[in-house]
Amino acid sequence: MTEKIKVGSAIRLDQFLKWANVTGSGGQSKVLIQSGLVKVNGITETRRGKILKANDRVEVAGAGSFLVVM
């Protein structure tokens, strides 16, 4: 099941992971992303500064799937 996460505007991937309560800090987000455990729209993403927009789907190994909603 995909959880919808509402954000106010475009958001960086590392910030989104904190916003969605997947991680507790930017450092944790960085490690998770650089470990190859995060996919955006089905593609492994290793850039923590990747800008997410409405309807982007973020999948995190062991944490679930999230849909960006604005």
Structural domains in the chain, CATH included, are 2-68 (3.10.290.10)
pTM of the model: 0.94
Instruction: List the Cα angle 16/17/19 in 5-degree steps.
Output: 60
Per-residue pLDDT of the chain (70 residues; tens, 9 = 90+): 899 999 999 999 999 999 999 999 999 999 999 999 999 999 999 999 999 999 999 999 999 999 999 9
Positive/negative CA dihedral, 13, 57, 21, 6: positive
- Model pLDDT, residue 7: 95
Q: How far is residue 8's CA from residue 28's CA, in Å, rounded to a whole number?
A: 23
- Model pLDDT, residue 65: 98
Closest alpha carbon to 40 in 21, 19, 12, 6: 12
Element (DSSP H or E) covering residue 33: helix 26-34
Scan for tokens 């955006």, then name that residue: 40
- Model pLDDT, residue 1: 86
